[in-house]
Amino acid sequence: MLLELRAENYAVIDHAVAEFGRGLNLLTGETGAGKSILIDALALLLGGKASSDFVRHGAERAVVACVFETTPGALAVLDENGIDSEGDEILLRREITATGKGRVFVNNQPATVGVLRQLAPELALVHAQGETMGAFDQMQQRVLLDRFSGFSLEAVASAHAAWRETRARLDTMLSDEQDRLRMADLWRFQSREIDEAGIAGPDEDELLEAEKRVLANAEKLYGAAMNAYDQLYESEHAAETTLGAALKLVDELARYDARFAEPAQQLAAAKATVEDLSATLRDFADGVQAGPERLAEIEDRLATLDRLKRKYGRTLAEVIAFGADSARQLAEVENRDAVLAELREQETQRAAAYEAAAGELTLARTEAARRLERLAERQINDLAMNVRFAIAVEAKKNSWTAHGWDEVAYRIATNAGEPLKPLEEIASGGEMSRVMLALKVTVEEGVALRGGKKKAVLPRTLVFDEIDIGIGGRAAEAVGQKLKTLSKTQQVLCITHLPQIAAFGDQHFLIEKKEAGGRTHTNVRRMEEPERVQEIARMLSGAKLSETSVRHAQSLIEASR
* Cα distance between residue 71 and residue 90, in whole Å: 9
CB 331 within 8 A of CB 238: no
Residue 50's φ and ψ, nearest 5 degrees, are -95, 160
* Cα distance between residue 325 and residue 319, in whole Å: 10
Task: Region of 551 please: left (phi>0), alpha (psi -120 to 50) or beta.
Answer: alpha
> For the CA atoms of the chain, what is the radius of gyration?
36
Closest C-alpha among 466, 525, 455, 518 to residue 489:
455
* Cα distance between residue 553 and residue 538, in whole Å: 9
**Winning range, highest mean pLDDT, from 37-41, 123-127, 395-399:** 395-399
pLDDT tier for residue 2 given thresholds of 50, 70 and 90? very high
* Cα distance between residue 271 and residue 347, in whole Å: 69
**Integer CA distances (angstroms), 555 to 18, 281, 478, 531, 559, in order:** 27, 86, 16, 15, 6
Q: What DSSP state is assigned to residue 234?
A: I
The pLDDT value recorded for residue 454 is 45
CB 500 within 8 A of CB 473: yes
Closest C-alpha among 432, 394, 429 to residue 412:
432
- CB burial of 127-166 (b: ≥16 within 10 Å; e: otherwise) equals bbbebbbbbbebebbbbbbbbbbebeeebbbebbebbeeb
The pLDDT value recorded for residue 164 is 92
Which H or E element spans position 58?
Answer: none
Distance of CA 550 to the CA centre of its chain: 46
- Per DSSP, the three-state class of 549 is helix
* Cα distance between residue 113 and residue 104, in whole Å: 7
Q: What is the mean pLDDT of residues 365-380?
A: 90
Looking only at the bridges linking them, the beta strands covering 24-29 and 491-495 are parallel
The pLDDT value recorded for residue 468 is 74
Which H or E element spans position 1?
Answer: none
Q: Count the Cβ atoms, other than its own, within 10 Å of residue 24.
A: 24
Maximum Cα–Cα distance across the chain: 111
Residue 124: burial class (beta carbons within 10 Å; 0-12, 13-18, 19+): buried
Q: Count the Cβ atoms, other than its own, within 10 Å of residue 258.
A: 8
Better pLDDT: 179 or 512: 512
Helices (H), 217-291: 218-229, 239-256, 261-287
- Per DSSP, the three-state class of 523 is strand
The pLDDT value recorded for residue 128 is 59
Which H or E element spans position 20?
Answer: none
pLDDT(323) > 80:
yes
Strand intervals (E) in 53-100 = 61-69, 89-97
The pLDDT value recorded for residue 133 is 43
Better pLDDT: 467 or 276: 276
pLDDT(517) > 60:
yes
pLDDT(129) > 80:
no
Residue 31's φ and ψ, nearest 5 degrees, are -60, 130
* Cα distance between residue 194 and residue 182, in whole Å: 20
The pLDDT value recorded for residue 467 is 73
pLDDT tier for residue 487 given thresholds of 50, 70 and 90? confident
Percent of the chain with pLDDT over 90: 24
Nearby residues of 524 by Cβ (< 8 Å), 6 or more positions away = 16, 17, 18, 27, 38, 509, 510, 511, 512
Q: What is the mean pLDDT of residues 290-300?
A: 79
pLDDT tier for residue 357 given thresholds of 50, 70 and 90? very high
Distance of CA 100 to the CA centre of its chain: 32
The CATH code of domain 2-152+356-560 reads 3.40.50.300
- Mean residue pLDDT of the chain comes to 84
Residue pLDDT, tens place only, 167-225: 888 887 776 666 777 788 888 898 899 999 899 899 988 988 888 887 777 777 778 88
Residue pLDDT, tens place only, 37-73: 888 888 899 888 888 888 888 888 999 999 999 888 8
* Cα distance between residue 284 and residue 212, in whole Å: 15
pLDDT(92) > 70:
yes
Better pLDDT: 404 or 558: 404
The pLDDT value recorded for residue 132 is 47
CB 498 within 8 A of CB 468: yes
- Per DSSP, the three-state class of 411 is strand
The pLDDT value recorded for residue 450 is 66
CB 447 within 8 A of CB 150: yes
CB 478 within 8 A of CB 383: yes
The pLDDT value recorded for residue 131 is 46
Nearby residues of 398 by Cβ (< 8 Å), 6 or more positions away = 405
The pLDDT value recorded for residue 352 is 94
CB 45 within 8 A of CB 94: yes
The pLDDT value recorded for residue 457 is 45
The pLDDT value recorded for residue 419 is 87
Residue pLDDT, tens place only, 409-461: 999 888 888 888 887 776 455 677 778 778 877 887 777 666 544 444 445 78
- Give the dihedral sign, CA 109/114/116/120: negative
Which H or E element spans position 101?
Answer: none
DSSP secondary structure letters along 467-513: TTTT--HHHHHHHHHHHHHHTTTSEEEEE-S-HHHHTT-SEEEEEEE
* Cα distance between residue 324 and residue 314, in whole Å: 16
pLDDT(384) > 50:
yes
* Cα distance between residue 119 and residue 106, in whole Å: 10
